[in-house]
Amino acid sequence: MPYIRNGWYVAGWADQLGSSPARIRIMDEWVAFYRAADGTPVAIGDVCPHRFASLSQGKVINDMLQCPYHGLRYDKEGICRFNPHGDKTIPPRARVASYPLVERYNALWIWMGDRELADPELIPDLDAFDRPALARSHGYLHVRSNYQLITDNLLDLTHAEYLHPFLVPEGAAERTRLDVRQEDNTVWSMMWIDRQEITPLFKLVWDNTETHAQFRSHTMWTAPSAIAIDTGMAKDGENEHDWPTLPSFHLLTPETENSAHYFWMIGRNRKVDDEELGRNIHEAIHNAFTTEDEPMIARAQENMNGADFWELEPAILSSDKAAIRARRITQKLIREQTAAFSA
């Protein structure tokens, strides 16, 4: 399957990479991660070219990853620098891929394509989650579907009434107003519900006397697969960000054609010191993803029976506009990338 390789993807949460190596599969490739002595994260191919052992099962010695099978050591460039056997000659094929890796916003960002194009300034802006006034938590979910089906799901939140009763109550879809905008490789899907009764989720952070408010959920997708959602409730005509908000980020990384890594963050601007509330909100969001979104999307992937999305000639609703634009941009970027590789 073709992927947008020239782009930054999250390979893991930085606070979960300690002294022991780890691995993840990205775009059908196994990648090993470890930290050098100074704490710098390193990403190289995980499969030793000698007998195909996983380097991530080895250990770090002198900033090199030692194969657990025969002791070959690979540096951060993926080059074998030490062979303990015989005359200690290093075979020319004793090397693995290496990948640009940047630690930012408590995430490990990896670039799977042309190293010369790996500009850290292209990493999506997640500065909102560095604000001291915002309480935050993060999680991970392995999804049994193509990552673009998850993007479809997040760019059309009208499904929430039917799939997430804790987040959006019954009758919301019919009262939803939508607006879609696009600028270059970024798509916005803006959603409002007027005079909405305070939802079960927002009751956890509600600190006003109003029983109804304008509900919003504004989604921004940036290629290749970073999604920010600004969710809140506010009184009409007032600064919506002065009212309770639950911003979130959804960072999708393709694992294979039919599976993906889903890294997410959720924040709140109310009761930021209430740790129990934080745990409750985190668990509510985790449950929505794990028990509602993921099974639905995974079954949809199964029902596609290996066919391409467009081959199935899907019925398109007006609420699909943002998701369709994201798919078109993805197709365009893959075509451009393929043309550049073949030139």
CATH 3.90.380.10, the chain: domain bounds: 127-338
Question: Residue 152, SS3?
Answer: helix
CATH 2.102.10.10, the chain: domain bounds: 8-122
More reliable by pLDDT, 166 or 300:
300
Lookup: tokens for 338: 């393929």
8-122 to CATH, choices 3.40.50.1820, 2.30.30.100, 3.30.70.20, 2.102.10.10: 2.102.10.10
Domain 127-338 has CATH 3.40.50.2300: no
pLDDT at 281: 94
Is residue 247 within 8 A of residue 227, CB to CB? The reply is no
149-184 tens-digit pLDDT: 999 999 999 998 899 888 877 777 788 899 999 999
204-261 tens-digit pLDDT: 999 888 899 999 999 999 999 999 999 999 987 778 778 999 999 999 999 999 999 9
- Please tell me whether the overall predicted TM-score, pTM, comes out greater than 0.75 for this model: yes
Closest CA to 25 of 112, 104, 103, 93: 112
Rounded to 5 degrees, what are φ and ψ at 311? -60, -30
C-alpha–C-alpha distance, residues 303 and 142, integer Å: 19
Mean pLDDT score of the chain = 94
